[in-house]
Structure 1
Amino acid sequence: MVMIEKVLTNTDVTQRLGVTREMLNILPPHNREHDVPVRVLDDTGMVYEFNLSVRVEGALKPVFQFQEWRAFVNRRNIKAGDIIYFWEEASVAHRTEYRIALLRTFV
């Protein structure tokens, strides 16, 4: 299991999450034509469906789009500087699941 750490920026918190190359490597294949839904379970047991989006042309610039990502940010009262951990794991049903955990910084 590879656990990916990301320190959240102001843009990550107020708009959309910039998906790192490491995260993109474990996520389902992206599609330049449409968003790809990614089911994510957080460390409190809540399930979210983040939409993975990449640019149609040029550099991919992958992101989790605003709506469901912001619901996660708002529910957890996330601030810039907080850290998320993101990883994939096999579930009992032999499917891939994605997990996310939050580490708060008190800056």
Structure 2
Amino acid sequence: MAAHSKLVFSKFLSESDIKKRLAVPSAIQRSLPPFNGGPALIFQFLHGTRFWPIHYSIRTKGYNKPVFSGRLWRNFVIYNNLNVGDRFTLYQVQVEDGSSYYRVEVGREIDFLGINAMAYGSGSTADEHVITHHHQEELSLELSLGQPNVEGADN
């Protein structure tokens, strides 16, 4: 069954995003689940092979900026070892049967053989990474890096 991913938003993480809350661009609010009259909800996104529940809310005082926050957001940050300068990218994935879900990629910008690229952790192990370089919209280069599989090596 084919699925189609649509970019919702992408941003480099700031210190505030890492330590407190991820500020979500107000312009993309229509692409996220509706609040249905309340100021907050829990929704899930897929990172690697795991779905993460995230607290999504709108501040009720002052500037009404949407945010991912609280213990659930901090759990995601800590578990995935996110750092200032990492790129957080959220996609909405539309499945052929009409259902949809959200998927997240988190990566670090690197210089790979003189090419500016993003290195994405898989979300499943700290030892496996994917390096992606998007030269054109339809063309990308992916290189998967992992621990070498060497028989008889001392591990």
State TM-score, norm by structure 1.
0.83
Residues 67 and 92 from structure 1, CA distance in 2 versus in 1: closer, same or farther, beyond 3 angstroms? farther
Q: Kindly indicate whether residue 12 of structure 2 is the aligned counterpart of residue 7 of structure 1.
A: yes
| Alignment partner of 1:68 is 2:83 | no
Supply the distance in 2 between the matched residues of 1:32 and 1:15 (Cα, whole angstroms).
25
Contact 1:32 1:53 in 2 (8 A): no
Count of residues in Structure 1 that have an aligned counterpart in Structure 2: 105
The Cα of 1:32 is off from its aligned counterpart by 6.0
What is the alpha-carbon distance in structure 1 between the residues aligned to residue 28 and residue 64 of structure 2? 13
- Report which of the two has the higher share of strand: 2
Cα gap change, 1:52 to 1:45, in 2 (>3 Å): same
Mapped to 1, the partners of 2:85 and 2:22 lie a distance apart of 13
**C-alpha RMSD of the superposition:** 2.1
Match of 1:26 in 2: 31
Shift of 1:57: 4.6
Contact residue 10 and residue 88 of structure 2 kept, 8 A:
yes
- 8 Å CA contact 1:9–1:81 kept in 2: the answer is yes
Percentage of pairs with the same residue: 27
In structure 2, the CA distance between the partners of 1:15 and 1:31, relative to structure 1 (3 Å rule), is farther
| Kept after mapping to 2: 8 A contact 1:36/1:52 | yes
| 1:40 lines up with 2:39 in the alignment | no
* Separation (CA, whole Å) in 2 of partners of 1:49 and 1:78: 17
Equivalent residue, structure 2, for 1:98: 102
Partner of residue 87, structure 2: 83
Equivalent residue for 2:58, pick from 38, 54, 59: 54
Bigger RCO (CA 8 Å, 6+ sep):
1
Q: Which runs of 5+ in 1 are unaligned?
A: none
Runs of 5+ consecutive residues of structure 2 not aligned to the other structure: 111-155
- What TM-score comes out, normalization by structure 2 length? 0.60
* CA distance in structure 2 between the partners assigned to 1:52 and 1:31 by the alignment: 13
